[in-house]
Amino acid sequence: MAPRRKPVIFLLLVALLVVGLVSTDKVHRLAVAQAGPAEYQELDLFTDVLALVRKSYVEEVPLKDLIHGAINGMLAALDPHSSFLPPEMYQEMKIDTRGEFGGLGIEISIRDGILTIVAPIEDTPAHRAGLKAGDQILKIEDRFTKDMSIMDAVKLMRGKPGTTVTITIMRDLFDKPQEFTLKREIIKVRSIRAQTLEDGFGYLRVTQFQERTGDDLHKALDLLRKENQGTLQGLVLDLRNNPGGLLDQAVEVADAFLREGLIVYTEGREAASQLRFSARKSGSEPDYPMVVLINGGSASASEIVAGALQDHQRAVVMGTQSFGKGSVQTIIPLGDQSGLRLTTARYYTPNGTSIQARGITPDILVNPLEVSEAAEESHIREKDLEQHMNGAEPTEGGPQFHLDEQMRKDYQLMRALDLLKGWQLLKKLDPKAA
C-alpha cells in the first residue's frame, strides 16, 4: 500500500510549502509519519533545503523558480532525453511535430556530457552553414554549454526570425573550435521528398517523422509510379540525418512496405508502456527491391523503420552505423500549460534487438565518399586518339538519369542505385537466383 501514498504525500508537502504556513520541522515530522518506508523519509532533505533557500538566500527567489529548478535537477539525474517543458517550450514542442517552428534547424542531444548535433534539417540555416551530425556545440553566444540542459540550449538558439545567433562548434576535422553565425528563420520542414533516380528507380527522402509523414509518403509513392509508367523496379528510402519524431508515423512508414509481422515493440515499467505494433496487409507496396540509407544522424523513429525492414529482410540497409536512440519519450501535460518529457520505455526491433546506445548496423557498410566526375572525365579513350578509326555513334536508348549534380556526387546514393540495378540484371540473367 505504501506506493499508493506517495503522490498524496508529495502533493500535501507542496501545498504546505506553497502557502508557507508550516515550518521545516513540522513538514519533516508529517512526512515521516505519513510515508512509512525509509526511502520516503529522504524527502525531508528537499524540504530542508527549500526552506533554507527561501529564508537565507542572499536574494528572494520566486517559489515557482525554485520548484522548476528542482524539477529540472531531478530530471537531469535520469537521462538526456527526459526534461521539463515550461509553457513556452511545451507549445513549441507541439509546433515542432506539426512541421513548422522558429529557429536554426538542428536536432540536438547530449552525448558523453557534450551538447551534440544529431542532424541538421535540410534547407535550414544550420544545413546551409555546413553544420553536420556529430558536431559538438561548445558555446551559444557567450555561454558555455557544459552542464547546459537541452531545453536551455534550445531556448537560447530559438528566437525572432531575422535575428542572429553565434554558436561555437568543434568537429573531428577541426584543429580548433570554429564560430558559426546563423540567422534565425521560420523552419518549415518538408517531411517527404520524392524523385526518380533513373527510369524505374525511385528515391524517397524522409527528413523527419511528423503528423503528416504517413499520408505524404503514400502521395509521394503515387507520384513516383506515375513518373515510371505505373510501376517501380526498385526504391531507395533515405533516412540519413533523420533525427526521428513521432512513433506512430514511423510505424505507418514501415507498414507501407510490410504485409505482416511485428514492426516494433516497447517495454517499460507501466502497462501503458508495453506496446506492440504490427503490419497490416492492406495498403502495402509491391515487393520491389529496396535499399534503406542510414548514417550517424539517423535516430529514434528512423531507426525503428530501418530495423523493421532489416529484420523482415524487406530491404538492404546501407550506409554507416545509426545514432542509437532506442528510448521512447512520453509527453505528459501538466496543470500550468507546461509539460513533462519523460523516458518511459525502450523500443525493440522485431527480432528483439534493443538499439539503445548501439544503433542499427548496416548490411553493407558504405562511407560517405564523394564521386569525382572530374576524375572519370580525365580518362583518355580510343576516340580521343589521333587518327582513330571511326565507329558507330553511341545510341540514345540507354538509361535516362534524373539526378542533379549534387545527387550524382552522393557516393552512398549511387551505391544504392547500383545495387538495385544489379538486382534487376541478376533476375534477367537467372530468375531463379533472384
CA angle, 278 then 281 then 283, to 5°: 110
Q: Is 300 a catalytic residue?
A: yes
Catalytic residue among 149, 191, 325, 327: 325
Catalytic residue among 82, 83, 191, 300: 300
CA–CA separation, 419 and 315 (whole Å): 11
CA–CA separation, 276 and 236 (whole Å): 27
Q: Is 427 a catalytic residue?
A: no
CA–CA separation, 369 and 125 (whole Å): 24
Q: Is 372 a catalytic residue?
A: no
CA–CA separation, 18 and 15 (whole Å): 5
CB burial readout 113-124, b (16+ within 10 A) else e = eebbbbbbbbeb
Catalytic residue among 44, 96, 255, 311: 311
Contact 377, 371 (CB under 8 A): no
CA–CA separation, 250 and 35 (whole Å): 43
Contact 264, 301 (CB under 8 A): no
- Alpha-carbon Rg for the chain, nearest whole angstrom, is 27
Q: DSSP states of 294-322 as a string?
A: E-TT--THHHHHHHHHHHTTSSEEEES--
In degrees and rounded to multiples of 5, residue 421 shows phi and psi of -65, -40
* Grid coordinates given for 402: 534524373
CA angle, 416 then 421 then 426, to 5°: 125
Q: DSSP states of 176-214 as a string?
A: S-EEEEEE-EEEE---EEEEEEETTEEEEEE--B-TTHH
| Residues annotated catalytic, as ranges | 300, 311, 325
